[in-house]
Chains A and B, each alone.
Chain A
């Protein structure tokens, strides 16, 4: 029984990092109504930025946040401003920006393969950082310390984004745009600036997820793909656009993966996750916490 409990707790810890990775996706969808297919690649970029920040400056892996968060925010901000905005403008009348979805796929291909060109295919990791392989014993259970920190990072990031959206003037503008972009524009809100901010925040959140992963995870050009589909599943489970839903969805996936491997091959848990995802899509497409979007 204790093993199961240990798996559940470790599943929740790792799952919250998945949730953290998916947080940006749900923020971007909530505002732009676009599934960002490049999200895994943004996470990959965040991991590389964190990795190089630690290697080049000798910072503690978590202090890399000071560099990663602003860099990733600006990266997302300008990605939306330069690449995605022109398409929104060209397709103003279209309600479902399919073209934008496919353009984010283009961004995904470019980023992944550029990093393959620049950094090469080899796996990198922070070999001798203080957190690698560190365990904490609680009541006879072994918990991974970097995953525990990731769990706290996920909760804090989610809270910070929530408070920003609820309590600040800019946050209110973002929420107004996400509810009705035409009406928000009429109130003098610059729709595209809000989009820039939303993608910036979402990308910065992916950067925080990257920092949480770097102490114990391998970094390679296609690492984002591992998280991409997981993130899609998480946000649909939790409800597209819901911040709490992303965290909960992530934890559910994490628990399935960790507990599932006790009973079956890891590859089968993957199949179970896809099955669960489809069940949700068909029965409750708005997810656990989702709002029914009419757009």
Chain B
């Protein structure tokens, strides 16, 4: 057992399990829950590019989800453009908006940045809720847009069963994780971490912190918009409260912080732990104990922040290392 086997082995195993899971899970409900789990892992990993590595606290990513969902839906419903192309256009739009938000706000200190991102996201939501049509573009205000499930098929990003959605979001998640890994090892990644932890020191060394953060913000909003398109095509119905709600932004931040922001495994771990809590408490206690999962979220969040401020990935990684060390000797020594 070499060092690489120990590091990559579990990833390969997880990948194989994830690929095979739809063969074992025949229940539509469970498949739906899994899709949402991956979707949130994807969203949180995208958020992590700026919220984790750059060390700021964006709380308005719902805006990018909404931009992605609305762009692709409007383009496919009213102009017959494939949602895949709409997804790209939505991503580009979101990246532009992300840079517009980032330009003035990255100069601000933490609290202001968090507030500014919330205000932007809520401002955009309120506007969409007020606009029935923008020239020829129909948004339908608070009623939202419905996508008639007529032409299923890969090109139309629409399927009669859940399995295709499962694989699409799985590949999206794998892609964004690879990208995050590449960035974390790149110059940009080091700039971001340096700028997040010690901005003055980083700037003194000639790192253009603001530029690094803007690039991260652009990538993060671009990728987040993809999730919006996916969401629209998966549920076939979008309205401002569903795809632009602040709850999305907060849930992403919760997952990242509990899992461990700034790490690659953190967002996935957080989604693995928290999404089932949400879904199962809704299924089993939804009628009698509404909001139970949110109380659990809050309590877990506070406990994690007090006892493991770097998130749960840290003790788990440490435990994994010590187990492999015991089993396979001192392979981690190097």
- How many Å lie between the Cα of A106 and that of B250 in the bound state? 10
Q: Are A229 and B122 in contact, with the CB atoms below 8 A?
A: yes
Q: Which residues on the B side are within 8 Å of A109 (C-beta)?
A: 250, 294-295, 297-298, 301
Seed contacts A103-B305, A109-B295, A109-B298; 7 additional CB < 8 Å A-B pairs: A34-B111, A91-B309, A101-B114, A109-B250, A117-B292, A270-B126, A278-B116
Give per-residue flags for B109-136: 1 if the beta carbon is below 8 A from chain A beta carbons, else 0: 1111011101110110011011000000
Q: Which of B250, B290, B306 contacts A86 (CB 8 A)?
A: B306
Q: Are A112 and B291 in contact, with the CB atoms below 8 A?
A: yes
Contact A278 to B123, CB < 8 A, known contacts A102-B257, A113-B291, A285-B112: yes
Q: Are A233 and B291 in contact, with the CB atoms below 8 A?
A: no
Instruction: Decide if A160 is an interface residue (CB 8 Å cutoff).
Output: no
- How many whole Å from B286's CB to the nearest CB in chain A? 12
Instruction: Decide if B299 is an interface residue (CB 8 Å cutoff).
Output: yes
Q: Which residues on the B side are within 8 Å of A271 (C-beta)?
A: 123, 126-127, 130
Q: Are B305 and A114 in contact, with the CB atoms below 8 A?
A: no
Interface size class of A (residues with CB under 8 A): 35 or more
- How many Å lie between the Cα of A126 and that of B166 in the bound state? 51
Q: Are B111 and A29 in contact, with the CB atoms below 8 A?
A: yes
Q: Are A116 and B291 in contact, with the CB atoms below 8 A?
A: yes
A:80-117 near B, CB below 8 Å: 83, 86-87, 90-91, 96-99, 101-103, 105-110, 112-114, 116-117
- CB within 8 Å: A-B pair count: 126
Q: Which residues on the B side are within 8 Å of A83 (C-beta)?
A: 302
Contact A35 to B122, CB < 8 A, known contacts A98-B110, A110-B299, A117-B295: no
- How many whole Å from B203's CB to the nearest CB in chain A? 15
Q: Are B108 and A285 in contact, with the CB atoms below 8 A?
A: yes
- How many Å lie between the Cα of A240 and that of B114 in the bound state? 14
- How many Å lie between the Cα of A35 and that of B305 in the bound state? 17
Give per-residue flags for A249-274: 1 if the beta carbon is below 8 A from chain B beta carbons, else 0: 00000000000000001011011001
Nearest CB to that of A116 among chain B residues? B291
- How many Å lie between the Cα of A138 and that of B55 in the bound state? 54
- How many Å lie between the Cα of A91 and that of B308 in the bound state? 11
- How many Å lie between the Cα of A281 and that of B120 in the bound state? 11
Instruction: Decide if B209 is an interface residue (CB 8 Å cutoff).
Output: no
Instruction: Decide if A33 is an interface residue (CB 8 Å cutoff).
Output: yes
Instruction: Decide if A277 is an interface residue (CB 8 Å cutoff).
Output: yes
Q: Are A233 and B119 in contact, with the CB atoms below 8 A?
A: yes
Q: Are B292 and A113 in contact, with the CB atoms below 8 A?
A: yes
Q: Which residues on the B side are within 8 Å of A58 (C-beta)?
A: none
Instruction: Decide if B289 is an interface residue (CB 8 Å cutoff).
Output: yes
Q: Are A278 and B119 in contact, with the CB atoms below 8 A?
A: yes
Instruction: Decide if A73 is an interface residue (CB 8 Å cutoff).
Output: no
Instruction: Decide if B242 is an interface residue (CB 8 Å cutoff).
Output: no
Q: Are B114 and A281 in contact, with the CB atoms below 8 A?
A: no
Q: Which of A102, A265, A274, A277 contacts B305 (CB 8 A)?
A: A102
Q: Which residues on the B side are within 8 Å of A277 (C-beta)?
A: 119
Q: Are B295 and A113 in contact, with the CB atoms below 8 A?
A: yes
- How many whole Å from A269's CB to the nearest CB in chain B? 10
Q: Can you give 22 A-B contacts (C-beta < 8 A)?
A: A96-B109, A96-B111, A98-B56, A99-B305, A101-B57, A101-B114, A103-B301, A103-B305, A105-B298, A105-B301, A106-B298, A107-B298, A110-B295, A113-B291, A113-B298, A116-B290, A121-B290, A232-B115, A233-B119, A267-B130, A281-B119, A293-B109
Q: Are A265 and B130 in contact, with the CB atoms below 8 A?
A: yes
- How many whole Å from A234's CB to the nearest CB in chain B? 11
Nearest CB to that of A105 among chain B residues? B250
Q: Are A106 and B292 in contact, with the CB atoms below 8 A?
A: no
Q: Which of B111, B294, B302, B309 contacts A101 (CB 8 A)?
A: B111
